[in-house]
Structure 1
Amino acid sequence: MLRLRTCVLDHLISSPATSPVSSLHRLVSAAALAVSPNPSFAVEEYLVSTCGLTRSQALKASAKLSHLKSPANPDAVLALLAGLGLSTTDIAALVARDPLLLCAQVEKTLAPNVAGLTGLGLSRSEVARLASIGPERFRSRSIVSKLHYYLPLFGSSEYLLRALKRNFYLLSADLDDVVKPNVAYLQECGLGACDIAKLCSRQPWIVTANLERVQAMVECAENIGVPRASGMFRHALHAVAFLSEDKIAARVNYLKNTFSWTDAEVGMAVSKAPTVLARSKESLQRRSEFLISEVGLEPVYIAQRSEIIGHNLEGRLRPRYYAVKFLKENGLLKRDPNYSTVFKISEKAFRKKFIFPHKEAAPHLTEDYDAACKGDVPTNFRFT
């Protein structure tokens, strides 16, 4: 019987389903008909030989499955997971994480969930990702209604799946008592649907926190000099989310000392680019040394254009500085560059303005700049 069951599952797993719903029903029916109740069913052996768990994983998981007397329901669950396109390795990981998934009712819960999720526009592979992220919630009947609310909020299934990977509590939080009041409050603060979607994609915990905590975050954002009406308000919320006032004060003080800013200058810098508060001390120190000591920018200049600090140091700031420095030293620039513009413009615009016009005078400039963008900054850009 074990051999028959294994052969059926191997066939199911190796044969991709062509229709997300009808094929799943065929897979479930095939798995259910292939076996009959077995009073001597050994759960631990089943987990190893059929589900692919290690012996230690199976021993731990079997403690939650001692009531199982037949492989019929587990086989149907495995068939459904295989029908979603999950590999044997993926399925083993799911079962090890949530052994009770094997006890979920396929016809009453899992199959309707799959049908409901695909009906919301999720692809079969996205449903599989959802199951992999949180099998505990995948076997809950509320998952379809939760995604029915979250999909418009996040704007796309991709954004939602990314957020769920960071905070799967989104699917267990109470919508009416927790999530919706938080979203309504953020809307009252002037955030539009797009702003809330972007904020939640990076900080999904915001909508599952208690309302008082969200209100405290808004107050912190305003206290660092970013009013609700500002276009930077969303970024300010992201920066101060779940930070205490003491920690925010400590980070502001570190910025002030690292960039040699006055109280007014650090206030200006944070209000213009609040995400600098979220950067590590090492990251800030390296940028300070580069911008002040190497590029030669004045602290007040940086404070007035603090978005510079948010750019990638090795992949953007250094390569562009060295390219412009090369052009300047070789008389290829008519006037001194505005480094705020140099660092801020898009990559396409930078190449059009500073690289392409000098191909003849500096034939190796493109090659050297490309190398610098990959982290291999030449000692001196070659001129001839």
Structure 2
Amino acid sequence: MRGSYNKNLFLYHLTVITRTSSPSFLIPSPSSIFRAPNYATVTETLENQSFTVNYLVNNCGFLPDSALHASKYVLFKTPEKPDSVIALFRSFGFSDLQIHNVIRKKPRILVSKPKETILPKLEFLTSKGVSKSQLARLIDLNPQILQRSLEKHLIPTFDLLNNFIRSEERTIASILHSVQILTSATSHRNINLLVDLGVRERSLARLLCHWPWLLLFNSKDLKSMVDEVIKMGVDPSKANFVPALYAKLLPKSMWDRKVELYKSFGLTDDNIREAFVKHPFCMLKSVQKIEACIEFFVKELGWKPVDVTNYPVLLSLNLEKRLVPRAAVLKILMANGVIKSCRHLLAYTVSEEMFFKKYVNRGKDQAPELLKLYREKMNLPVMDSKLMS
């Protein structure tokens, strides 16, 4: 049977060769770079490929075409290794779909030595507080973690991130927020780049907690963005530098649209730049939010547009739940002579408890309706006892 198979295989290759337009390939000369195929090796490879394809289809949920494609990258002739890899994943709570995804992305994982190469990495992550469900999701999204060196890359990278964040729980959250950060080499270079520019540890911790994927940018591109933000006047040592860096990632069309909106209120390029330097989030709010906030202060309270952009943090506050209710209180206080103007920035930025004590309680004797008004504006059935105290 084997002899018949080899003979048919030989005849097939001979047929392919004889169809070529160059007869010189039929009998390679001794000095030719072409060699006659080793049919024993070819036969074994095809058999292994057939076994691998069947295994991937029957044990890993692959479709035949996908299994055939994966078999270009991994071959095995017995089920022991792949069985042990799959069993290890299942012992950590991986679902069949997650196992399929990991193998589809990195087929060679199936011929790993699970106890030597996979288990230590899974144990390291769980030792840092990664739950089984988080672990399965993390490896599903970035199976390259299992191919990186534990001692030379994963541990040093985790420690580097944790040195800034100073909380293993939040470091894990950062990694889950941007799963490539644990395996990317650029994150190290970009952190060093930002540190060298004078970005504070606290700012880097903020970046890692909220926008860790910024560190995955090509270092040259990140440096270009950093230079642009610095040119606008944002100091790398200030807390607003990282949000400014994030804001500059807005598509140019969106950035330009917001600039035009600000200009429609009579603001100049310098007004807009100064607002951005003070509070970069003023360029991250939606066009609708920016327009509604400026119109509220201008039409309802008589401010000039530049008064709003002089305190651009106002554009980040909730219009319905904070600005409108507090402005209503200030209006009554001003009408009763308690305050001279509604332009109290502090009134809009302090905590709820502090606002109640400083403004609502302060004017309740002159304007008894303040409590009722504020409760209605805030949509509160009763006034919180903490506020009343």
CA distance in 1, matches of 2:110, 2:280: 47
1:145-169: CA deviation from partner (whole Å, max 9, x where unpaired): 4323333244334443444345333
Work out whether 1:270 is the aligned partner of 2:247.
no
Deviates more, 1:283-292 or 1:135-144: 135-144
Work out whether 1:169 is the aligned partner of 2:180.
yes
2:323 matched residue in structure 1: 317
- Compared with structure 1, are the counterparts of its residues 83 and 151 closer, same or farther at alpha carbon in structure 2 (3 Å cutoff)? farther
CA deviation after TM superposition for structure 1 residue 99, in Å: 5.9
CA deviation after TM superposition for structure 1 residue 333, in Å: 5.3
CA distance in 1, matches of 2:372, 2:226: 51
User: For residue 267 of structure 1, what is the amino acid of its counterpart?
Assistant: R
1:242-297: CA deviation from partner (whole Å, max 9, x where unpaired): 766x875x256325324421333223212211222233323322323333233432
What SS does the aligned partner of 1:111 have? helix
What SS does the aligned partner of 2:184 have? coil
User: For residue 150 of structure 1, what is the amino acid of its counterpart?
Assistant: L
CA deviation after TM superposition for structure 1 residue 332, in Å: 9.6
TM-score by length of 2: 0.66
The answer to whether the 8 Å contact 1:276/1:309 transfers is yes
User: For residue 109 of structure 1, what is the amino acid of its counterpart?
Assistant: T
Equivalent residue runs for 1:144-163 within 5 Å? 144-163=155-174
1:105-164: CA deviation from partner (whole Å, max 9, x where unpaired): 311211111233345x33444544532442332453343443233332443344434443
CA deviation after TM superposition for structure 1 residue 220, in Å: 1.3
Work out whether 1:224 is the aligned partner of 2:232.
yes
1:344 matched residue in structure 2: 349
Q: What is the root-mean-square deviation of aligned Cα atoms in Å?
A: 3.9
CA deviation after TM superposition for structure 1 residue 302, in Å: 0.7
What SS does the aligned partner of 2:379 have? helix
Question: Considering only CA atoms, is the larger Rg found in Structure 1 or Structure 2?
Answer: 2
CA distance in 1, matches of 2:95, 2:328: 48
TM-score by length of 1: 0.67
The answer to whether the 8 Å contact 2:240/2:278 transfers is yes
Say which of 54, 60, 67 aligns to 1:47: 60
- Compared with structure 1, are the counterparts of its residues 372 and 74 closer, same or farther at alpha carbon in structure 2 (3 Å cutoff)? farther
CA distance in 1, matches of 2:369, 2:226: 53
**Aligned-residue identity in percent:** 22
- Compared with structure 1, are the counterparts of its residues 332 and 80 closer, same or farther at alpha carbon in structure 2 (3 Å cutoff)? farther
User: For residue 316 of structure 2, what is the amino acid of its counterpart?
Assistant: G
Say which of 204, 210, 234 aligns to 2:218: 210
Matched residues, number: 321
- Compared with structure 1, are the counterparts of its residues 262 and 146 closer, same or farther at alpha carbon in structure 2 (3 Å cutoff)? closer
CA deviation after TM superposition for structure 1 residue 187, in Å: 1.6
- Compared with structure 1, are the counterparts of its residues 243 and 372 closer, same or farther at alpha carbon in structure 2 (3 Å cutoff)? farther
The answer to whether the 8 Å contact 1:355/1:365 transfers is no
1:234 matched residue in structure 2: 242
Say which of 108, 115, 121 aligns to 1:113: 121
User: For residue 344 of structure 1, what is the amino acid of its counterpart?
Assistant: T
1:192 matched residue in structure 2: 200
CA distance in 2, matches of 1:114, 1:235: 34
1:320-356: CA deviation from partner (whole Å, max 9, x where unpaired): 334555x549859555443422221123322433456
Q: Which has the higher contact order (CA 8 A, sep 6+)?
A: 1
- Structure 1: which 5+ residue stretches go unaligned? 1-38, 49-56, 374-384
User: For residue 187 of structure 2, what is the amino acid of its counterpart?
Assistant: V
CA deviation after TM superposition for structure 1 residue 192, in Å: 1.8
CA distance in 2, matches of 1:235, 1:64: 44
CA deviation after TM superposition for structure 1 residue 97, in Å: 6.3
- Structure 2: which 5+ residue stretches go unaligned? 1-50, 382-389
What SS does the aligned partner of 2:199 have? coil
CA deviation after TM superposition for structure 1 residue 306, in Å: 0.9
CA distance in 1, matches of 2:237, 2:144: 40
